[in-house]
Amino acid sequence: MVSTQKKADKTYKVIGTRPVRPDGVDKVTGRAKYGADIQLPGMLFGRVLRSPHAHAIIKKIDTSKALALPGVKSVITHKDLPTAADAALNLGETTDNLKWISDKVLAAEDALFHGQALAAVAAVDKHIAEDALALIDVEYEILEPVLSVHTAMDKKTPSIHDNMKTVDMIARFQVGEISETQINNVASILDLELGDLDAGFKEADIIIEREFETGTYHQGYIESHNGTAQWNENDEVTVWLSTQGAFNARDQLAALLQVPMSKIKVIPMEIGGGFGGKIPMYMEPLAAIMSKQTGKPVKMHMQRDEVLLATGPTSATYIKVKVGAKNDGTIVAADAYLAYEAGAYPGSPVSGGGVSMFMPYAIPNVRALCLDVIVNKTKTAAYRAPGVPAAAFAIESIIDELAEKLEIDPIAIRMHNAAEEGTRRHDGVLAPSMAVKELLEEAQATEHWNAELSDPSIGRGIAIGAWGNGGMESSASASINSDGTINLNTGSVDIGGQRASLAMQLAETLGVEYDSIKPQVVDTDSIGYTAVSAGSRTTFATGIAVIEVGNKIKKQIINRVATFWEIDANALKYNDDGSVSSPDKIINFKEIAAMLPNTGGRIQASIDIQATTHVPTIACHIVDVKVDEETGKVDILRSTALQDVGKAIHPAYVEGQTQGGILQGIGMALYEEYYYDDKGILKNASLLDYRMPTSYDVPFTEIILVEKPNPGHPFGVKGVGEVPIVPPLAAVANAIYDAVGVRPNILPVNPRRLSVLLKEKNNK
Amino acid sequence: MVSTQKKADKTYKVIGTRPVRPDGVDKVTGRAKYGADIQLPGMLFGRVLRSPHAHAIIKKIDTSKALALPGVKSVITHKDLPTAADAALNLGETTDNLKWISDKVLAAEDALFHGQALAAVAAVDKHIAEDALALIDVEYEILEPVLSVHTAMDKKTPSIHDNMKTVDMIARFQVGEISETQINNVASILDLELGDLDAGFKEADIIIEREFETGTYHQGYIESHNGTAQWNENDEVTVWLSTQGAFNARDQLAALLQVPMSKIKVIPMEIGGGFGGKIPMYMEPLAAIMSKQTGKPVKMHMQRDEVLLATGPTSATYIKVKVGAKNDGTIVAADAYLAYEAGAYPGSPVSGGGVSMFMPYAIPNVRALCLDVIVNKTKTAAYRAPGVPAAAFAIESIIDELAEKLEIDPIAIRMHNAAEEGTRRHDGVLAPSMAVKELLEEAQATEHWNAELSDPSIGRGIAIGAWGNGGMESSASASINSDGTINLNTGSVDIGGQRASLAMQLAETLGVEYDSIKPQVVDTDSIGYTAVSAGSRTTFATGIAVIEVGNKIKKQIINRVATFWEIDANALKYNDDGSVSSPDKIINFKEIAAMLPNTGGRIQASIDIQATTHVPTIACHIVDVKVDEETGKVDILRSTALQDVGKAIHPAYVEGQTQGGILQGIGMALYEEYYYDDKGILKNASLLDYRMPTSYDVPFTEIILVEKPNPGHPFGVKGVGEVPIVPPLAAVANAIYDAVGVRPNILPVNPRRLSVLLKEKNNK
């Protein structure tokens, strides 16, 4: 991989190196334990009956024939959910209310999307469970499905949820109260405004208004969802699963199963990809309930079609953006209307899109109206920088068009409007440290950007994007062994190399070797609360927890050595190499560790922190495409990613994140898409038909890491996992325009769509 | 069970109640996971070749035929141990030197006891492994075995260990230096003296000198030793085993395998009994080495004969005691000589016997000379109050005889000589709080002691004994969930109900319900160092760690509520029910827990403590026996145990410990014994031939718990697990004397031995 790293000023001993990951050997030798590896005595296998209809009233479910099949031990429907009996849950007021979470797990009155779970079976083997599904009789009253945000919001369309109240997010966030309006199938509205939009547009010399659409994209993790539950006779529940957040899973399960949190032990197995999609609960509550009914552990493992039908994906979107600029390129006003498909239950990432799309720029007059729209499709889930790639596609396409029309270099126009520290944003925040200019300067200087294009059918595009990494709660604990090695525990599931990146931060803090630290991901009984490994937060926020644990340990070491030497602690210094010295003595880390057992016991520390400093990271993508005008096929010829990473703890992992994010963004731009028929039936629920890019489609991306340290993290870390997915959609679209003079406004711009655009252009 | 509890003054909400144990359901439903339940992909099975000789030079071991057997994957001998290559280990200077630990695991130059491990095999199934053992050719030069302390110490007997140096424990302990003397096959000498022995005996009106012997007793845990090891390609080793101390096992393995502690993860499975015998390593290092050689996990599980041959037992002992008293019963001098069999390597519990035997009494002039003697028998291990039952048998028999000869009531003579707080002991310690008098007063008042004996063939005996519970290092961590439930983690293996007794102490500390706490025993990677569950230390010492964790949590809660209410923390009070109040406001524990996530994160704490206050516990046993003079058979008719428990956290578990200890003591008195032939071959290595008492032999013991709080523990806890085994040997012997007028001086006093004594009496 060609990779360049622009170093931050400060140098470190461990941070910035590229050691082997602690989980590497287990993963390459097949010893790492995934959920599929769980085998328990007497274990049953569960399967789910899914709705063949996108919208139907469930008039009756008869499970008697299925239950009578030899080998079948349990058949459950919504009425078996502990939440079903609790009418108080049926509030319908917030996006995360328990009624909807419960209905999504097993449908209550209606099936609201193709593939929705209606019943579950546990049997002695998975084939019997499969056979039993066919014996469940469901009587439906089929309704017309609502399949687009436009239809959904049409006054003539019936409400999908009778009692749903639209939540005004501004009121909710700002005043702490919820004001309710009745907008058709809109679950929530977020209306962000800054400055005076009308006045802004009056100042403009040029105004461009465009509409954009993006498709439904799945996260595409290799490992499908799985969960095994064992409900003991004393109502203690153990769940093994593939999740991005064991505590989040535990708390969801506690709510769904109506048991105390302490009675649920969630054991996060290794995870074969998540990208945001392994946060919600799907089958785990069903496995738990069937385990309770049968007294046996129950294992469930989705087939690939179920993953595509009923988990993930991200929202299909409709975005309209109007931008006004002066002739010198100054953007004076921007007005965005974003309507995102939530799927059958509330909760799209539209607000993320509406907030982040303008984050790289300083625009004085801005509005973003964000609508969360219910449709009869699978409930969406978070997907890497949720909601932002689509929104960045919109704004970055328009900026490219502005640059073209105003005859300004595309990097220059972005530089001219770049947000800086102190820029007032439309979400009310004063921007913290921003690296837009630094990144654009590096982009300007790349060999790629300055290379000649060899062929008129080749175009080059550029786009940037922002994502503010998450903070949230993390715990860590560490303990020194008497030989100087250290055990480190966190509750952050390791998706992207967290064991290594966290061990490195502790090693740096304590001044010890990376190899002397043994990091471990533990279950929910074994450490304090830790939020999901998502939002690019883990290396940042759990990193802060780990550093704080290191600092607590250092303090104890100083005090212990002071007692041992009978000297005032203030006279001691903890050195960079882990030794402690007084003006006339020194003791190294191994010697300190060896003396601990006989001087009061070994030293350990634990902490629970809430990270609050959110510094956006900025990514830039430069891409060369070759378009075959005859077929509409687009080939990616060259790809360069620049990314502001604060400080790269383990540069190889950061590069891996960037490489993957770029690839997924290109997938959204060119290849991937859910195909629904007019009845709302998903027609391509397989990886043969749902077309993800592979290494055959896309060349390796050249990666340039730019280090502008995050002032909110002791080592300057910024979250890096998500932002690389943001710019490629627009970069590819802009490159296509550069190549063939048409601006794709609907993604993915597959050969069919591009052919239409090329035909329109040629017919003009 | 008939049980009475004499309550300590202070009353508690949780402590002193008898809730269901958290591990109870899993254990009675068979779901609790023991080492035998471990199944891993590709797992091999290991077996050990054991010496058929008690003493032999190993001239050659040829493993080639065994290795050639299809299915055999590894055959190892001592030269495969990582320690074998390290000559520096061959120091022979301390009882725990690595050379001896290593040789015990796999014999080096000689086989020193019948059953010693010589080689190990790993194969694809255990039958093949068994077959392979027969194919290992060993060439021996058989030597004369040394089978008693008397033979061993005889100058004419050759040294079993050529280079062994006798360690003078007094010098070692008091001066910090080791003085070496050469005493034949004596590994160490501890010589404790107080006052002026000659002057003391001169004051005496009566002097009694007697010799005593006790046999070799096995701990008799139901679950045999087992261990499974997986050595990964990155040299990380995971070991699942049945142990009393996961960290102790880890550190022994780190030394034996020569890998850093952090690279070994010891996962303690549930344990089916230990009684001190599950502390040393036996097969686990072999499993690890064979796993390294084969790249597969290796499981080993002893058969019962191996358990009896090569694990445990406690020392057979020879004790000579001389006691002088005045006519009023005042004991003025006591001189004890104790020679305990260490087995083939140093380390008997003779010093425990020599220290504890006089602990209940205030005797001004005392000596105890303690010898640790090497013989060609299996290396002994700790067994419940190690070394003390035999020593108490000696002193309590003599005191019974003194009482008889001086015509003083046996309780009165003990009361007259009872040690109190401040009594100077022969080990140099000033006695802390002692409950001898309180216990004797309760004994005096029992219905049992005052009941008439219905038959002249029935006798009644009484004896007391002391055991000072251990302190040592313990860690604990706890975390509050947002619903107010709490996860509690400790590294103390749960043998006797620790999960419950520790959760109860945290509940009491925090003022919350017992049910709201979920206790868990975790592995060595997941918590700070915690010493073995042994020495009656866990409820005491890990209890202190748990209470300290609770106190740290309370402090954080006070500070958080203070911040939340914007009030000075000093104005707040943490109440007994877990609520926090200011002069005009109150918030309960559940409300506090619920607000934590949004006010800085959930609260957790962890700690590593070293408990240092050792307060002896006192036990008393009253027993009625009926002796069949024709056969020498002794039946236990009635049994009452009184025990000083400080404060019983969970009285039902304390009663269980007492019941079990009494039963084991009776087993030592009457039934159990290793039978060696004159070649040192153990002839009764099966539970058919090694005769442990069952519920058919012995009635339930009536239990009276006396609570004299331990000033060194916040709730007054004393360690209770071991002391009940101390008095029964003497109590039974004294009861036999009361019944038939002969004093057994060799235990077990089985029908054969008692018949001899009765015949001698009748022949007089």
CB–CB of B262 and A486 under 8 A? yes
- Model pLDDT for residues A617-630, shown as the tens digit of each residue: 999 999 999 999 99
Contacts of A711 by beta carbon, 8 Å cutoff, 6+ apart: A432, A433, A613, A615
Q: What is the pLDDT of residue B183?
A: 84
Residue B210 lies in a domain: no
Residue A10 has pLDDT above 80, yes or no: no
Residue A590 has a CB neighbour count (10 Å cut-off) of 16
- Give yes or no: residues A627 and A763 share one domain: yes
CB–CB of A522 and B526 under 8 A? yes
Q: Among all residues of chain A, which has the CA nearest to that of B230?
A: A31
Sign, CA dihedral A728-A734-A739-A742, equals positive
Which of A20, A235, A237, A606 best probes binding to B when mutated, by most B CB atoms within 10 angstroms? A606
Where residue B225 falls among pLDDT bands split at 50, 70, 90? very high
Q: What is the pLDDT of residue A173?
A: 58
Mean pLDDT of the region B352-361 = 96
Distance from CA of A471 to the nearest CA of B (A): 12
- Cβ–Cβ contact B42 with A under 8 A: no
Q: What is the pLDDT of residue B1?
A: 39
Where residue B367 falls among pLDDT bands split at 50, 70, 90? very high
- Give yes or no: residues B596 and B620 share one domain: no
- Give yes or no: residues B596 and B453 share one domain: no
Per the document, the length of chain A is 764
- Give yes or no: residues A598 and A630 share one domain: no
Where residue B731 falls among pLDDT bands split at 50, 70, 90? very high
Residue A282 lies in a domain: no
Strands B586-587 and A746-747: unpaired
- Cβ–Cβ contact A3 with B under 8 A: no
User: For chain B, how many helices (H) and strands (E)?
Assistant: 21, 29
Nearest to A479 among B479, B520, B528 (CB): B528
Q: How many CA atoms lie within 13 A of B353 on its CB side?
A: 37
Residue A437 lies in a domain: yes
Q: What is the pLDDT of residue A764?
A: 79
- Give yes or no: residues B450 and B521 share one domain: no
- Give yes or no: residues B599 and B484 share one domain: yes
Task: Express as a percent the part of chain A with pLDDT over 70.
Answer: 96
Where residue B90 falls among pLDDT bands split at 50, 70, 90? very low
Q: What is the pLDDT of residue B169?
A: 75
Residue A13 lies in a domain: no
Distance from CA of B716 to the nearest CA of A (A): 22
Q: Among all residues of chain B, which has the CA nearest to that of A519?
A: B525
Q: What is the pLDDT of residue A100?
A: 87
User: In chain B, positions 247-266, which contact chain A (CB-CB < 8 Å)?
Assistant: 251, 254, 260-263
CB–CB of B31 and A608 under 8 A? no
Q: What is the pTM of this model?
A: 0.94
Q: What is the pLDDT of residue A92?
A: 43
- Give yes or no: residues B531 and B547 share one domain: yes
Q: Among all residues of chain A, which has the CA nearest to that of B604?
A: A528
Query: Quick check: helix, strand or coil at residue A707?
Result: coil
Residue A244 has pLDDT above 70, yes or no: yes
Contacts of B159 by beta carbon, 8 Å cutoff, 6+ apart: B184, B185
Residue A504 lies in a domain: yes
Per the document, the length of chain B is 764
Structural domain ending residue among the three candidates B611, B642, B666: B611
Where residue B728 falls among pLDDT bands split at 50, 70, 90? very high
Residue A267 has pLDDT above 70, yes or no: yes
CB–CB of A529 and B481 under 8 A? yes
Q: Among all residues of chain B, which has the CA nearest to that of A487?
A: B525
E strand map for B15-71: 44-50, 56-62
Residue B499 lies in a domain: yes
- Give yes or no: residues A624 and A748 share one domain: yes
- Cβ–Cβ contact B516 with A under 8 A: yes
- Give yes or no: residues B560 and B648 share one domain: no
- Give yes or no: residues B454 and B548 share one domain: no
Q: Which residues pair with A230 in a beta bridge?
A: A238
Structural domain ending residue among the three candidates A558, A584, A611: A611
Q: What is the pLDDT of residue B120?
A: 98
Q: What is the pLDDT of residue A302?
A: 98
Nearest 5 degrees, angle CA B427-CA B430-CA B432? 120
Distance from CA of A233 to the nearest CA of B (A): 7
E strand map for B221-295: 226-231, 237-241, 264-268
CB–CB of B25 and A251 under 8 A? no
Residue A652 lies in a domain: yes
Residue A132 lies in a domain: no
Helix, strand, coil % over all residues of chain B, rounded to 5 = 30, 25, 40
- Based on the structure, what is the number of domains in chain B? 2
Task: Express as a percent the part of chain B with pLDDT over 90.
Answer: 89
CB–CB of B525 and A518 under 8 A? yes
Q: What is the pLDDT of residue A94?
A: 47
Query: Quick check: helix, strand or coil at residue B201?
Result: helix
Structural domain ending residue among the three candidates B611, B635, B650: B611
Contact A180, A200 (CB under 8 A): no
Nearest to B481 among A233, A262, A600 (CB): A262
The pair of three-digit structure tokens given for residue B418, joined into one six-digit string:
């009872």
Residue A2 has pLDDT above 50, yes or no: no
CATH assignment at residue A546? 3.30.365.10
The pair of three-digit structure tokens given for residue B709, joined into one six-digit string:
């709080």
The pair of three-digit structure tokens given for residue A283, joined into one six-digit string:
């089958």
Nearest to A261 among B29, B260, B481 (CB): B481
Helices (H), A299-373: 304-310, 350-356
Where residue A91 falls among pLDDT bands split at 50, 70, 90? very low
Nearest to B477 among A230, A486, A606 (CB): A606
- Give yes or no: residues B568 and B681 share one domain: no
- Model pLDDT for residues B439-489, shown as the tens digit of each residue: 999 999 999 999 999 899 999 999 999 998 888 999 999 999 999 999 999
Q: What is the 3-state secondary structure (H, E, C) of A599-613?
A: CCCCCEEEEEEEECC
Phi, then psi, of B536 in degrees rounded to 5: 55, 30
- Model pLDDT for residues A689-729, shown as the tens digit of each residue: 999 999 899 999 999 999 999 999 999 999 999 999 999 99
Residue A89 has pLDDT above 90, yes or no: no
- Model pLDDT for residues B618-668, shown as the tens digit of each residue: 999 999 999 999 999 999 999 999 999 999 999 999 999 999 999 999 999
Residue A8 has pLDDT above 80, yes or no: no
- For helices B543-565 and B498-510, the axis angle rounded to 10 degrees is 30
- The domain containing residue B512 runs over which residues? 471-611
- Give yes or no: residues B496 and B461 share one domain: no
> CA-CA distance, A370 to B321, in Å (whole number)?
92
Residue written as token pair 């001998």: B77
CB–CB of A487 and B25 under 8 A? no
Mean pLDDT of the region A86-115 = 76
Which of B27, B479, B612 best probes binding to A when mutated, by most A CB atoms within 10 angstroms? B479
Which of A250, A526, A563, A598 best probes binding to B when mutated, by most B CB atoms within 10 angstroms? A526
